[in-house]
Amino acid sequence: MDAAIALARENVRRGSGGPFGAVVFNLESGCAVAAGVNLVEQAGNAVLHAEVVALMFAQRAVGRYSLHADGLPPHALVTSCDPCAMCLGATLWSGVRDLECGALRDDAVRIGFDEGPVFPESWDYLEARGVRVRRGIRRAAAAAVLEEYRQGGGGIYNG
């Protein structure tokens, strides 16, 4: 989680994107496979959220479109904030077996982001499909990055 939060903070401080970071880890080795930051404004592309970028790079790194493909170890997506609706879908389709989140959806909404239709049932659905979900990990530190973004005048590009 520290790595995801650090990526988000660096993205804010450099002014290179939104206040979100994500890392995909190999759960057997504990090694990072790929990382991503929010590139929506920088690339002018609404789908380039940190989670999507990290998953995209991870799938390229392992050479498979699913991180749950035969012969691969299980993978985790660690993200500095609860994923939005789009990123929850990407999490499911990516094949990760573990999702760990820092700041909560409410923290992102509080500064103006629209996280889309994410419901308690959304988390239950992921769990039922074999994705272990843990939320609120190092929440205060992750939420502080969101607040730093807001105080610095960062744009709300989906609200």
Question: Pick from 128, 40, 56, 125: which is nearest to 88 by CA?
Answer: 125
Is it the case that residue 74 has pLDDT exceeding 90?
A: yes
Is it the case that residue 159 has pLDDT exceeding 70?
A: no
Tokens of 88: 């929850």
Instruction: Name residue, tokens 């074999």.
Output: 130
**Count of domains forming the chain:** 1
Residue type for position 121:
E
Enclosing domain of residue 108:
2-151
The pLDDT-based confidence of 91 (bands split at 50, 70, 90) is very high
Is it the case that residue 141 has pLDDT exceeding 70?
A: yes
Q: Does residue 93 lie in a domain region?
A: yes
Q: Does residue 157 lie in a domain region?
A: no
Q: Does residue 158 lie in a domain region?
A: no
Q: What is the mean pLDDT of residues 68-80?
A: 97
Q: What's the whole-model pTM score?
A: 0.96
Q: What is the mean pLDDT of residues 36-45?
A: 93
Q: Does residue 65 lie in a domain region?
A: yes
Question: Domain holding 95: CATH number?
Answer: 3.40.140.10
Half-sphere exposure of 130 (CA within 13 A, CB side): 10
